[in-house]
Copies of this chain bind each other. A is one copy, B any other.
Amino acid sequence: MRYFLHLAYDGTDYHGWQMQPGVTTVQQELDRCLSQVLRQPVYCLGSGRTDSGVHASHQVAHFDADLPDGLDLPTLLYRLNRALPVGIRGQVLHPVPPDAHARFAARARTYEYHVRLLPDPFATRFSLYLDRAPDLAAMNEAAAMLVGTHDFTSFSKVKGAEKHYNCTCFEAGWHLEPGGLVFRIRANRFVRGMVRLVVGTLLSVGRGKMSPAEFGEIFRSLSRVHASGAALAGGLFLCRVEYPAELVDAALLPAGLPYFKA
């Protein structure tokens, strides 16, 4: 039987999502704890990777397992959370068809990047602190160029295994929130390091080091050498992975509770 696990994690202490030898990753902790609780080897596959130090308020992984007789899903989720480190928590667990794939079935991912403009004792590990407000209008003029289907080579980290660098971006913009700003970007897919490179370069625009027009030139150059440095990992959250309604919607709305920010 195949299951979708919806989870959240504080990425501060992990070398990202993806299993890697010699370091602790979120996927590795999940596999270890699911295997322990289910007493069989379990391997998770996530909707996508998050980089070292990046957080997720919503990540989705699928795994195949045979549940022991009499073990129901709420009890499994409870035991999993007792086994997991405090920084990783399963939130919703439900069966899916055997061919449902956490990565290939995902239609869109949303990331948020948090900037604090006031010293904030609650957000030290979850935001970038700036002591001067960046130019919101200039950053949003530049961010608007990202919307649509484009080649994001200019904002990709490494020329790696990716077949192509085209992403369809549905939304990209900065919003005021109390004491700070948040950048939200929603797209069908993301290439490696993309959000932090986009944010770092938009912040250069916000600081007046670069004009929106120059941002556009960098974007269209399809060269990885012009972007600004990647923004601090701790400010970034994977905050929503979207699937076709028949796969997850009923599972996510128990008792009228909202699972996501409106």
Contacts and interface: CB of A to CB of B under 8 A. Distances in A.
A180 B256 CA distance: 11
Interface string A108-142: 00000000011111101010000001000000000
A168 interface: no
B119 A259 contact: no
B90 A179 contact: no
Nearest to A8: B121
A120 B177 contact: no
Contacts of A180: 257
Interface stretch (A46-54, A81-89, A218-226): A81-89
A242 interface: no
How many copies of this chain does one complex carry? Answer: 2
Contacts of A86: 121, 124
B133 A118 contact: no
A258 B176 contact: yes
A9 B91 CA distance: 28
B178 A122 contact: no
Contact of A257 (B117, B124, B255): B117
Interface in A33-77: 55, 57
Contacts of A88: 121
B178 A259 contact: yes
Question: Which of A124, A177, A178 gathers most chain B CB within 10 Å?
Answer: A178
Interface of A: 8-10, 55, 57, 81, 86-92, 117-122, 124, 126, 133, 176-180, 254-261
24 contacts: A8-B119, A8-B120, A8-B121, A55-B122, A86-B121, A86-B124, A88-B121, A89-B118, A89-B119, A89-B121, A92-B118, A118-B259, A122-B126, A133-B254, A133-B255, A133-B257, A176-B256, A176-B257, A177-B258, A178-B259, A178-B261, A179-B257, A179-B258, A180-B257
